[in-house]
Chain A
Amino acid sequence: MAPERAYVSLFPNSIIDVDLWKRFYNDEEITADVPPPVKASADMATSTATGSKSSVSLSVSDQEQAITYLLDQSIESILHDMLLDIHQEEKIARMQTAVVEVEQKAEKLRSAHDDNNADDKPVESNAAVLKSGQVQLKGNPMKNVKHIRCPNCRLRRLLYPRVGFNSRPVPDPAEQYCKNEPMIIMDKHDVHGQRKKGVKVKGQAKGKNKRKNDPASPASENSDPLTPSSSIPNDSFEFKEIDYPAAKCPNRESHLGDHWKSVNVFATHLNGSCYLKKDRAAGREANAKIGGTPRDSRASSPKAGTNGNKRKADDDTPGGNKKKQKLGDVKKNEKKGGSGPSRLKEVNNVDDQGEDSPLKEVNGDTISVTPTKAARDASMEPTLKLKLKTGATDGIARKKPGKTGKKA
């Protein structure tokens, strides 16, 4: 196969090369554009594959030799490449540290002397020389650089994670370290040592409590056999839970101003009341559509509260889902920030309905099937019976008999 790629840690992925895409975009060659096939080349693939085997014959010992050579070289190369990667990473980090340290020293000198022509003088640390802006290494950084420093923030790097797999105590707790710490490897925890909200970790929760109660009990934390020395840093490490933050809803059309929702329910939010309107109100609306009733049919109907009885008679025609829809309307109005009075009225309506609702339902059952006077007359008897059975309020009980009496 083609050679393995050599990874170079000089330019880690995390440092974004902002012009890469432009170079890529302008590069005519880069997409692996393959020459189109020669006509009727379908059988070419099969013919060449078999035809061109080399006809060199090897003796058995030759073959053995060849095999040994190839195996030896391959294994050696694989090991070499693995070691090289690690050595390279380490040495480059140290080379950078040498540069950082000598630059720091130069800065210190410069600020101490406070003169500008200090630039010309070579500054020398024990690993590098800074001369006219150029840094030259001195000796082998693997030997003369003690601690690795981050070339970005110039703080010392932690070499082992604070907790979890392969953790070591922090060498000097008083010192500030580069924030780019080694990844924490721990079950149910992410690389930062956080865990998902709601995820309970048995052993650790205990450890946490213990830590709170008496911080000087490192023996109990030694449960992990892989990390014998992890007990000390564990004491100072705080395992956080990832909390769901709130995010601003991008769908500005559905609500005035900014709308903040916890991120874990965002799909529900967009799906429901906000964007797709697939919530419970949607069902009601769809129902209303099928029923042919406009959503704001109430606008044309007489306002509630003037005469409870009369209103009921009017109201009952659309059927039982009236109340639910009403509630939906109220919500809508509230969201739109409706003016004071109208809102009040709506609220009143709801209250009214709430009080009368048992009655209304009973009425609805009976009267909704009698839209015209004639029909109502026809179905008079059962109405009456029902009324009496349920023990309706006086007003209705009185009125209905009166009505019927008149008719009869």
Chain B
Amino acid sequence: MALTVSMPTAGCEHLDTETIEKIRHFRQSPPPGMDANFAQYACLQCSTPGSFPSLDEHFAESKHTFAVSQKSVYCGRCHDLVYDPALLGNGKKRKLTESNDEDDSYLTSNTSQRPCGRSGVRGLFNLGETCYMNAVLQMMVHNPLLASYFLGMGHSMHTCPISKEPEKKAESSDDEDEASEDVNGSQSQKKEMQVCVACGMTDLFSDVTMVDQPLPAHAVNLLFASWKNIPQMSGKGQQDAQEWFMYIIDRLHEAVAQYATPDKTNSVNAANGIAPIDKQCVCFFHKVFYGRYHSQITCDTCHTVSAREDEFSSISLDFKKQVKRKRKAAKDAAAAAATSSTGAVTTTTNKKDADKDKPPLKIAIPNLHECLRSYTAPEPLSPEQYSCTTCNARRSASKQTRLRKLPAILCVHVKRFGMKQLGTGVWVPEKYEGKLDFPLHLDMGPYTTKPPSRTTTTPQNGTARTTAAGTSPAERKPDAYMYDLDCVVVHQGDHAQNGHYFAFCRQDNKWFRFDDEIVSATTTEDVLRQEAYLLFYSLRSLEQV
């Protein structure tokens, strides 16, 4: 890493290690009156708060030098904010790479220098109706965790037992020490699969990250591997991006599957009377993509709870229901209030705008939090749907699904495709258009099985930015369930059967639009304006790993 970070030893000539320690300490226990959520500066020595001019005056009087906020340090002698390398990177980061300087120098002396170029903005050729694949692939390519896996010898093509002929397997097992543990685990892989999707991915990742050429890359090998491994989706034709995503993840997991004894992780479950999952995969892709949800059905009569846990690779949200609910609420509100709500926001591009009561057209846009809340809310089951084992009879019950375990990369799927019954009784596929508000930062905490210990409730009615002033940060790790938006996949077109997919991905906090070959720069506002089909969030605490 030496060549990438040519930074001075300190942020400015006045900073020394002692001061940095002081700053760290200051940030951990800020003086009273300082709110961590706000950008407030206070003198490091005497905790005098103030703006930069007032601090300058204070420094001139007191000969103090530094003012500190949660994010930055102000140097009174430079009269500027200073950025110290020790304070920028979170301490843990890159420990592994920095520890072996010998290797580092060896590598730098033996490899050619990484060429400069616009990085992370390579398009992908459309191989013939493969935009569904390209959109998902761009998400993967821009995920640092996956990039690290595929480029950091997570799955080496040369030692992959699947791509090799079965008779060469013995040879590949010799290279085990070089290869990762995942490859070891896949030695028990069945031999019939000749083309490995993970190899296709490795191939693509190494191709895409070559920054020096502006031409788009192509995922020919991966397409072939995908067709071979996902027979139901093979063949030229338009496919559903979410379906492909689910399958490809499953195949990636199969390529490196590693099953562990389930007792380790499920002891807690056993105590709670949850049937253990007989086989639990502990492979890398499981950890990255798969979460588990916990659904429990409570009988209304005897209150017996039967629970089960299942894996998911994406959370599917009922968009249509939410739109309906919103519209109904809006109508009710409009009916309740006098018609003179002039400040009404008349947004949304709902095609069913033609509802007759046009004047108070205040159709609020459903947001992700509402969808998630209704996803995790208890839902009633009629006696026809559920029979209680304790009562030995059909009972009405309530079912609730909550998230038990969250993946590192969370895929939120907005159900935009459904079936519609025509007057003739024929079901035809239908696409639900319209916006869904989604946040850049998503706290999944409220939708988990975690007991709601916080005093503040879930964000109310779309104001996702309600300040969590009531939460004390010490109570729990604030970022534990915090997710950041990484990628938005959009489906363009009026029909469920055809259309075009493109993706918006974040690269170093800048957003780009990846439309097959063409990559263009865009703004965060533009991204948030999209009618999202798939949303990919990644776990924030990953940055601290």
Contacts and interface: CB of A to CB of B under 8 A. Distances in A.
Interface in A51-81: 52, 54, 70, 73-74, 76-77, 80-81
A42 B398 contact: yes
Interface string A234-258: 0000000010110111110000000
Interface string A14-26: 1111111111110
A136 B127 contact: no
Contacts of A8: 88-89
Contacts of B274: 36
Interface of B: 1, 3-13, 35-40, 70-72, 78-83, 85, 88-89, 93-94, 96-97, 113-121, 123, 125-130, 142, 144-149, 151-154, 180, 195, 209, 211-212, 214-216, 218, 220-221, 223-225, 227-228, 234-236, 268-269, 272-274, 284, 287-288, 294, 296, 298, 303, 305, 378, 398, 400, 402-408, 441, 443-444, 448-453, 455, 457, 459, 464-470, 478-482, 484, 507-509, 512, 517-521, 539-543, 545
Contacts of B303: 40
B540 A17 contact: no
Given A11-B5, A264-B128, A266-B220, 20 more contacts: A5-B540, A13-B507, A13-B508, A16-B148, A18-B152, A24-B288, A25-B284, A30-B541, A39-B272, A42-B398, A44-B451, A54-B470, A91-B81, A137-B8, A140-B78, A179-B117, A250-B220, A250-B225, A264-B125, A275-B224
Given A70-B467, A73-B35, A44 B452 contact: yes
Given A37-B296, A270-B236, A251 B116 contact: no
A166 to B, nearest CB: 10
A350 interface: no
Contacts of B5: 10-11, 151
A11 B443 contact: no
Interface stretch (A110-118, A184-192, A355-363): A184-192
A40 B298 contact: yes
Given A13-B144, A39-B272, A4 B441 contact: yes
Contacts of A408: none
Contacts of A250: 195, 220-221, 224-225
Nearest to B287: A31
A103 interface: yes
B153 to A, nearest CB: 7
Contacts of B151: 16, 18
B224 A24 contact: no
A191 B521 contact: yes
A4 B543 CA distance: 13
Contacts of B97: 17-19
Given A77-B37, A192-B118, A41 B272 contact: no
A36 B272 contact: yes
Most buried by B among A31, A40, A49, A179: A31
A3 interface: yes
4 closest cross-chain pairs (CB), A and B:
A267-B128, A18-B152, A14-B119, A20-B148
B268 A36 contact: yes
B466 A1 contact: yes
Nearest to A35: B450
B415 to A, nearest CB: 24
A41 B83 contact: no
Contacts of B89: 8, 10-11
A35 B268 contact: yes
Indicate the member of B36, B121, B402, B521 with the most A CB atoms within 10 Å.
B521
A181 interface: yes
8 contacts: A2-B479, A10-B88, A13-B120, A21-B145, A34-B405, A42-B400, A190-B518, A263-B125
A140 B121 CA distance: 33
A278 B287 CA distance: 38
Interface in A280-318: none
